[in-house]
Structure 1
Amino acid sequence: MMHYPPAGNVCRAICLVLLAIAFGIPCATAITLTPGSTAITTISQGDPVYIQGIATGHPQVGLQIWFIGYNFVKVSTVQVNNDNTYEYELQKSDTANLAAGEYVVLIQHPMENGRFDVVYDASSGMVTNVQTSKPIFQIAGSGSLQSTGAVTALMNAIGSQNIDDTFAIVTFYVSQPATTINPIGDLQQGENITINGTTNLAAGDNLMVSVTSASFTPTPKTESSGVSGAGGMVTVMPGSGGQNTWSFTADTSTFAPGDYLVTVSGVLQPVTASARFTVRCSGAGDTCSVPGLASPDVTAAVTGVTLNSTTGVQVTPTGPATTVLPATTQSAPVPAAVCLAGVAALLLLRRRT
């Protein structure tokens, strides 16, 4: 009598497999920014961003974070660690749907009185002076200031002589995910090829690079099929001027001469680019080495074919020998439904025994 594992064990095994797959999926790499830095940083939509720094005095109420852009404002707080450091994360969901443009993160410190004297009223969309209980300006909703105007007004409000709060800011730009492929040119068969380009994806993000033959056509058996290429995943490296870099290397010694298509696509972000290049013959004159063939001089010729239902197919080559292939009868294929029914019946019988 056969014993089968309990259903609970099977479910647990499936869950473990799914968790292993989930942990194997690469995550987008976050960009870390420090308030007060003057460096120009560009991120792509969907890139997480960490804001890190030091807040002296260890304020008990934490720090107030103002995230401001065109038609966008988000205000929240973050606690300060025991060593006076802090970290605030703009998650992928925060940046995925942002419009392209400039964004400012302002970090507000409550200073000596231990409270924020300039606050955001989410119900009205107003920035308010806590000391006077009077509104200062509209930052969200109808009639609100936009982008740089809102940031300037907020900086003036917190920097007022009657307010003891202080602040630091960091600026970055958001753009749609994009990547480019640098020109490749023609290559001689056997050369190492380095394909590279730029992208605004964060350093540490992954791209898939695929090199495939662009000239695949049905060919005789004595010729190479022309199916050759390479592929793999590359990691985005830090660049400059808001553009990071990537690079992929392949050996063309196994490439059949012809045209090739390079495709680069994001693993997590919707970004793609393509380019073409040509592999030329490496042999003398018009002679090309064809990968996959044991000998480039293989030839064949058929002078006559006779069909006979009894004796089979008789082929007469150019040589004196005659080859007769015996007649064969192909069995009718068993329907898939019959196979599945048989397997199901077998399993049922085993369960009952």
Structure 2
Amino acid sequence: MIKKSPTPRTRAVFGMCVLIFLAVLIMPVSAGVSQSTIAQGDTLYVSGQAPGSQQVALYFFGPNYFKYATAQVNDGSYTYQLTTTSDMSPSQYYCVVQSPGTGSTFSVGPVTVGQTTYITVKPGSGVPADGDSFVVQGPNALQGSQAAYALEQMLKSPNIPDLSQTFTFTIDYPMITINPVGTLYMGTPFTVSGTTNLAAGDTLLVDVRVASFWPMSKEEANAQDSASWSQGDSGSVIVQQGTASGQNFWSFSVNPLHSSQYEVTVTGIKTGATASQQFTVSNQSVPTVVPTTAATTVATTVPTTAPTPTPSPGFGLLAAAGALGAVALLIFRRH
């Protein structure tokens, strides 16, 4: 039986398949976050791609902070939720996402011995590898950027098949602002709004209450339709995504109010952040806007032909008149 050698086209297709397969195996792990800046107490979402892996490991480093976690990979993708940001002080943090690459187990990982936690090679042994480990919890622990850099250098070793990617994020104090409300008028609905660094989708409680009583005569009170106006309002709103990280916005529609001094308070349910502002609802009528009329402009007619100039005595005519006067004076003197 004669074996047929593969044609050039067959060899090319086979080679392409091998290249694609190898690319999937050695493709670096990717990682990203929902927001590069989040409020303390909000949830940080980390997601990415890790083709060929069953799980990824996540290392979080910060000032006096270390956390290790794993996430399952489904169809080449993973998602992890960091829900403990309330325990993390406002600062910059580093996250290293690790994939075992072509292997089935991690070649680098944490090992805890007593009160000390190491990042070490061959974590399955349960003993820190001499010369290939560093401390992340306990005496002489590396923190923040130093710990992230040490782990990166360890994973870049030619003897380590694991893949990784590092990114940073910032945790800020939770903050809510209220835009200036100003003076309002009784019986007129309005909207309060503001900004926040709380995550889009967070819930805010908005409460509008009387801060001080505005005295009103009985005649004024009877003249108003008090049934349609309240002395407060409250409800909840959802934070909306802003145009920049950490700069989201919110708004709340308020029903018509009686005239008084009011205070609006906005509180974040998840983080406990709060803000307040006072404003006045006047018992005066809404000012009537008088429309302004443009002044009528009378068009000036421009003549199409130049007017005939009126002759005026020129220099030559004046000179001639002077000469005649001089001759008359001479004749008069001779006589």
TM-score where L is the length of structure 2 = 0.65
Structure 1 contact 40–171 (Cα < 8 Å) conserved: no
Structure 2 contact 33–45 (Cα < 8 Å) conserved: no
2:292 corresponds to which residue? none
Residue 203 of structure 1, CA deviation: 1.0
Q: Find the aligned partners of 1:228 and 1:121 in 2 and give their Cα distance.
A: 61
Percent identical among aligned pairs is 37
2:40 is equivalent to residue 45 of structure 1: yes
Structure 2 contact 90–173 (Cα < 8 Å) conserved: yes
Q: Find the aligned partners of 1:37 and 1:127 in 2 and give their Cα distance.
A: 23
1:73 corresponds to which residue? 66
How many pairs were matched up?
Answer: 245
Structure 2 contact 185–284 (Cα < 8 Å) conserved: yes
Give 1:169-208 correspondences, 5 Å limit: 169-208=166-205
* Aligned counterpart for 1:96 among listed residues 69, 79, 86: 86
Residue 39 of structure 1, CA deviation: 8.1
Q: Find the aligned partners of 2:201 and 2:140 in 1 and give their Cα distance.
A: 41
Which 5+ residue runs of structure 1 have no aligned equivalent? 1-33, 286-353
Which 5+ residue runs of structure 2 have no aligned equivalent? 1-28, 288-335
**1:322-342 deviation per Cα after TM superposition (whole angstroms, max 9, x unaligned):** xxxxxxxxxxxxxxxxxxxxx
Structure 1 contact 186–279 (Cα < 8 Å) conserved: yes
Q: Find the aligned partners of 1:201 and 1:146 in 2 and give their Cα distance.
A: 26
Q: Find the aligned partners of 1:143 and 1:46 in 2 and give their Cα distance.
A: 28
Give 1:106-255 correspondences, 5 Å limit: 106-123=96-113, 124-130=116-122, 133-134=129-130, 135-216=132-213, 224=221, 228-239=231-242, 240-252=244-256, 255=257
TM-score where L is the length of structure 1 = 0.62
**1:164-193 deviation per Cα after TM superposition (whole angstroms, max 9, x unaligned):** 211123432222322111111112334432
Structure 2 contact 200–238 (Cα < 8 Å) conserved: yes
Give 1:264-343 correspondences, 5 Å limit: 264-283=266-285
Structure 2 contact 61–93 (Cα < 8 Å) conserved: yes
Q: Find the aligned partners of 2:278 and 2:78 in 1 and give their Cα distance.
A: 48
Structure 2 contact 53–100 (Cα < 8 Å) conserved: no
Partner of 2:212, secondary structure, is: coil
Structure 2 contact 193–249 (Cα < 8 Å) conserved: yes
Query: 1:84 corresponds to which letter in structure 2?
Result: G
Residue 38 of structure 1, CA deviation: 8.4
With 273-282 and 203-212 compared, the bigger mean Cα shift is at 273-282
1:299 corresponds to which residue? none
Q: Find the aligned partners of 1:155 and 1:208 in 2 and give their Cα distance.
A: 43
Partner of 1:150, secondary structure, is: helix
- Aligned CA-pair RMSD: 2.8
